[in-house]
């Protein structure tokens, strides 16, 4: 009888493992999708490649920029207008991409429900400062779109 209980307990544990496996795989798939969307966004930003860059945003996106613009940019028109100015400043007198080499450090992705992802990371692209980024993405019509960016910087005390 004891042997039968062990077999049943083992089967129950195995069933629980296999029932949780699809959820774990789905989370891994979602995270891979979000990472791919972020990589595409960063590459477009590095290269100042406008069309793929702007396609990364939802129409209702909002952005807090770290420096040049104090108010929040709201909606596609304002977000694009502010980033067009950022592109001009970054490009300067450079003639070919890449114009930047953004290297997100410490990327962490959290999910809020099944369709919203919060990505946080930092950049070390401004000497003496730690540039913090939060990008909120939402899955819309099968692809992840940026609905909010919060960019801030603090003096690096490390």
What is the per-residue pLDDT across 110-137, written as a single tens digit (0 to 9) for each? Answer: 999 899 999 999 998 888 889 999 999 9
Q: How many domains does the structure of the chain reveal? A: 1
Task: Write the pLDDT tens digit of every residue in 82-112.
Answer: 999 999 999 999 999 999 999 999 999 999 9
* C-alpha–C-alpha distance, residues 108 and 121, integer Å: 6
Share of the chain above pLDDT 90, in %: 70
pLDDT tier at 4 (50, 70, 90 boundaries)?
low
Q: Any idea what the Cα angle at residue 51 is, between residues 50 and 56, rounded to 5°? A: 100
111 part of a folded domain? yes
Report CA 85 to chain centroid distance, whole Å: 22
Q: How far apart are CA 157 and CA 141, in angstroms?
A: 43
State how far the Cα of 30 lies from the Cα of 144, in Å rounded to an integer. Answer: 10
The Cα–Cα gap between 87 and 105 comes to: 22
Helix (H) / strand (E) element for 9: namely helix 2-46
- On whether residue 79 sits in a domain, the answer given is yes
Residue 130 lies in a domain: yes
Is there a domain that residue 21 lies in?
no
**Chain position carrying tokens 């891979």:** 32
CA separation, residue 26 to residues 32, 113, 136, 143, 144 (Å):
10, 13, 19, 15, 15
Give 2's Cβ-side CA count (13 Å radius): 0
What is the pLDDT, as a whole number, of residue 158? 67
CA 76 to chain centroid, in Å, comes to: 18
Does residue 65 fall inside a structural domain?
yes
Higher pLDDT, 156 or 45: 45
Residue 42's CATH number? 3.10.450.50
Q: Which two tokens stand for residue 81?
A: 């207008």
Give the domain extent around 109: 27-155
**Residue 95 CB contacts under 8 Å (≥ 6 apart), including other chains:** none
């Amino acid at each position: 009888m004891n042997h039968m209980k062990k077999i049943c307990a083992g089967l129950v544990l195995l069933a629980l493992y296999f029932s949780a496996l699809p959820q774990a795989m789905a989370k891994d798939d979602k995270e891979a999708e979000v990472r791919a969307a972020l990589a595409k966004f960063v590459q477009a930003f590095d290269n100042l490649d406008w069309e793929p860059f702007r396609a990364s945003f939802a129409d209702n996106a909002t952005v807090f920029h770290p420096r040049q613009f104090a108010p929040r940019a709201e909606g596609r028109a304002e977000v694009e207008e502010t980033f067009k100015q950022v592109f001009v400043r970054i490009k300067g007198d450079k003639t070919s991409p890449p114009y930047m080499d953004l290297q997100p450090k410490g990327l962490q992705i959290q999910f809020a429900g099944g369709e919203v992802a919060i990505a946080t990371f930092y950049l070390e692209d401004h000497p003496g400062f730690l540039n913090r980024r939060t990008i909120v993405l939402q899955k819309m019509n099968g692809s992840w779109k940026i609905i909010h960016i919060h960019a801030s910087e603090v003096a690096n005390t490390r």
